[in-house]
Chain A
């Protein structure tokens, strides 16, 4: 049998299309797989596209198919990486940690530093204290972090390891110095999602610095100043977004602290030096953040507990839902302006005008188009609001990690616009539900993360990649999606796909040449 030829090595996408492989696969199927009648397979496939199937699909109670969410510790690692020389330490089984690292690295194309206490069977039986103690000591000595932020996997949570007590004991045993910063958060995957883990970890870190470092230091006394704290939330565009937000703050002349600023660690330069840590919120700034006038969160559902905690420290707190577009960015800037008493500078007003200009130039192409969106609850909200501004209909908005409150908020958004009339929010649903929606109530475009490509292929709905993770396209995370300029990027991304689609539909040579136009 002819396989590879050393003179001309074929890539897998070509190799297995060769006759010999095709024959082999066909034989295997016919002789060993005991396959169903292809006609029957087709019949079932077609049936799975019907309203009847959709009803059964939506009646699913136990099984989740293709979920659009990740687990708490992923968010915990993401948040912890945003602090100066901080090593995320996940107490639990090590396989989980490998997942977080690869997940983040595949999206950001950067190494992700994160360690595990590597619990095994004996730890599951006797408790993970030894693993935590040894783990803290080892990682402290090997990686020289300035802070170790501890989160947990399900394994530690199921057996009920008490992080507060364990860390105290570890310190007593001398694994790390007594005054060393080891904030922690319980982040079981069986509760919430990565956005919850982000929230818990950020709250854990703030609590550590503000409220007396787990009883080892006096609580900080707040002396209110005029700065503001900014929290981005779990955000696949953190690299571009944080830089854009800093630019906006600087244009406005606002004193600010960005909490959990991981924009540098996910974007280290290639110059021969490996940076295990880079940038991030300094520990001093994290502590001083208690004095700020207010704390602003870009993503409400990523920061519910954190904001409640901050509010308890007499700060004003404001949460947005991933503001995108003109109206939402206006709100964001006006809130900044109100809180800080700083005017919105002309430079930003001009950016606003440019976005409005771009929307006016192109909105006819977006107007009336139907979209399905899935992703984290805040991103879904921001995208839907922007689409409504453009006269598009966000027909299906689905968030696996969205809850009842989110659903209510989405429906209120739909009710506020004539274009929201036929739109509906789907909390707690998965991408297999989305499949039924796309077949039974088709839309023009789908917005979601990389996993949407299966839906794109299956349903023929073109996918616009906005969300996390984006594995199969590179560098999207470098471009902001916040502010007027970020909204412009989103607009361009949407328009590109719309025009690509027109081109695709008119590109058959000798058939549709008449509409394959240069000028669109």
Chain B
């Protein structure tokens, strides 16, 4: 476990992470993982993070060493697309039992590896550590080493048991495993001056394939994609790339930075979401390749392609203008750079009433100000409470966000569109942005929203009940803890930095009750609590009065 602790400290100290760089020394010492609050409703664990980061490697057998739940609940929960092998979707687990816990699970793990080798003969086996074997001291590193030697096949330990921390930490630990055991262990058949790596891209709904034809056209080769539609061999020789594009910096910045350090591969952080970002990323790739020795004419060809694609995309967006006139959007994005989306949405005639800048750089913020004016409503870190209030006050017609905020939008009876990882549609590249417009149009004009807003037609406005509710909310405003408790809700925190518990407190503050446990969402893996509305006679005016 010592080496695992060292690795964790190391990734927590990631100099490539902008957020980390802006921390004070003391803060940095505390590491980058958010401290979990017992009693909250947290997201996934480190194992989950490691698994989802690596799972898109398609020709690898992913073997989870642990009791059934770790794999049973996460089997095939990622909408990545594979152009080849289907092996990555097969569920392999050691399914540890009580006996294994008593006598140790190493032998079982070894036999499982053996059986996979015999029956599937994969390119490689990734062995994921989980809480139980880590606690009883199963040494998966040693088992993997022995198995590799015995079977003559890479058996890679992914040492990120759930208890070590958050999902994000797990992403990074997965990256570390690649750096330690995989990257640099193979050689490509040939190299070209046009070889790039794409890191932190998962080919969700096959969206990378919307961009790949453009790269193909320019003669740029994706030497390795980590990890969307990735193949083991490609990662093994990814150190021969000339440049890299870092897509989701939150997940795998350590991989990009260390590859630069070890192999001199320069990287940039970019995205293919939005028209301008797509163009910018293509330009960056061309620039970096030219700097690394590719012919300068690559830039001319890139520019020509950009002009052509941009014209097509802007023209396609044109037709949405009449449907979007007067519609207001709030944009809460995770890994997607805001300003690039802002430009496209505005071009289509949508008014952006707010955008999150949580993950944006100062430069990005300047761009947003340029686009949205000096009074741009930039949201640093909006709590679900604030989102709810904003939507309930009808300040926006639609929210674009990640799945986490879905139920906040639904409770506020506002159209919502998933633009983060669990969505079903491919929004990448020039084509993707047009698809996004289509989906926004559908969401805006879905008749269900009227149903949600109106409530049962026989409900007459109950003034007495309203007065009672308002009084209740006033009382809570004075004494949040007591107020929350009367609602039967254990409020965890009112600090606006905390993401946990804010959904509850938002609802509690509006006199609502938590009555049901987490419900399965349409595309969700792990979800926050569902906030159920029991005070359906609570009219918007009552809320405004209370706020």
Contacts and interface: CB of A to CB of B under 8 A. Distances in A.
B457 interface: yes
Nearest to B78: A519
Interface in B522-544: 522-525, 533, 536
In terms of DSSP, what is the predominant structure of the interface of chain B?
loop
Interface string A360-391: 11111001100000000000000000001111
Contacts of A520: 424, 522-523
Nearest to B522: A361
A333 B458 contact: yes
B284 interface: no
B76 interface: yes
Contact of A364 (B77, B410, B443): B443
Contact of B75 (A337, A363, A364, A518): A518
Interface string B441-461: 011011110011000111100
A417 interface: yes
Interface residues of A, number: 36
B522 A362 contact: yes
Interface in B454-493: 456-459
B452 A356 contact: yes
Nearest to A513: B86
For A330, A343, A364, A389, the residue with the greatest tally of chain B CB atoms inside 10 Å of its CB is A364
B82 A518 contact: no
B200 to A, nearest CB: 20
B451 A359 contact: yes
Interface size class of B (residues with CB under 8 A): 20 to 34
A356 B206 contact: no
A360 B448 contact: yes
Contacts of B448: 356, 359-360, 363, 389-391
A194 interface: no
- The A interface, classified by DSSP as helix, strand, loop or mixed, is helix
Contacts of B424: 520
B447 A334 contact: no
B83 interface: yes
B31 interface: no
B81 interface: yes
Given A334-B458, A352-B456, A367-B442, A514 B83 contact: yes
Contacts of A353: 533, 536
Nearest to B229: A514
Given A356-B452, A360-B452, A517-B79, A388 B458 contact: no
B188 interface: no
Contacts of B326: none
A367 B458 contact: no
B293 interface: no
Contact of A519 (B459, B523, B536): B523
Contacts of B219: none
A338 B81 CA distance: 55
A242 interface: no
Interface in B511-530: 521-525
Contacts of B206: 514-515
A518 B75 CA distance: 9
Contacts of A352: 456
A352 B205 CA distance: 34
A304 B317 CA distance: 52
Given A349-B536, A514-B82, 10 more contacts: A344-B458, A349-B459, A353-B536, A356-B452, A359-B451, A360-B452, A367-B442, A390-B447, A391-B442, A513-B82
List 3 tightest A-B contacts by C-beta distance, closest first: A514-B81, A518-B76, A363-B448
